[in-house]
């Protein structure tokens, strides 16, 4: 074995375990409900979803400037998973309306929610 090959194998085996970064404190805290900062696009969207009438995809895309696929990702990833809010959707006059229910949500809608496919 040449000198450079010996150096490479020695560097890989010893240094890799020491130079590995420790997990951040945010990950160590686990599933914690975090608040949305005020004045952001996310806070605007959450407030719209908490309103009594809820918000449609068109109103959310217009208010935030996001594309529809980004709004859907926000609803699934941030609202449902990270913030752990109860998000329901219903079709009202042919338009799907999204709304946050629960203690922070607004009054119930007059329509029956549409069942989601499992």
Structural contact between residues 19 and 9, judged by C-beta atoms closer than 8 angstroms: no
d(CA 86, CA 75): 10
Give 110's pLDDT tier (boundaries 50, 70, 90): very low
Q: Cα(19)–Cα(50) distance, rounded to whole angstroms?
A: 45
pLDDT score at 16? 53
Domain 31-101 has CATH 1.10.10.10: yes
Q: In what order do the strands lie in the sheet with 55-56?
A: 55-56, 95-101, 86-92
What pLDDT, on a 0 to 100 scale, did the predictor assign at position 116? 53
- pLDDT tens-digit profile of 86-97? 999 999 999 999
> What 3-state class would DSSP assign to 27?
helix
Question: In the chain, which ranges are continuous DSSP H helix?
Answer: 3-18, 25-28, 41-50, 57-64, 68-73
8-18 pLDDT tens trace: 666 565 555 56
pLDDT in tens, 21-49: 665 554 444 544 456 678 899 999 999 99
């Amino acid at each position: 074995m040449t000198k450079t090959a010996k150096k490479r194998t020695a560097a890989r085996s010893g240094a890799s375990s020491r130079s590995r970064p420790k997990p951040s404190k945010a990950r160590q805290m686990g599933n914690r409900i975090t608040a949305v900062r005020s004045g952001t696009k996310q806070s605007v969207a959450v407030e719209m979803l908490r309103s009594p009438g809820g918000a449609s995809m068109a109103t959310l895309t217009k208010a935030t400037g996001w594309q529809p696929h980004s709004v859907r990702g926000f609803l699934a990833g941030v609202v449902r998973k990270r913030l752990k809010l109860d998000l329901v959707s219903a079709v009202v006059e042919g338009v799907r309306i999204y709304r946050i229910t629960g203690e922070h949500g607004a009054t119930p809608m007059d329509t029956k929610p549409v069942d989601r496919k499992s």
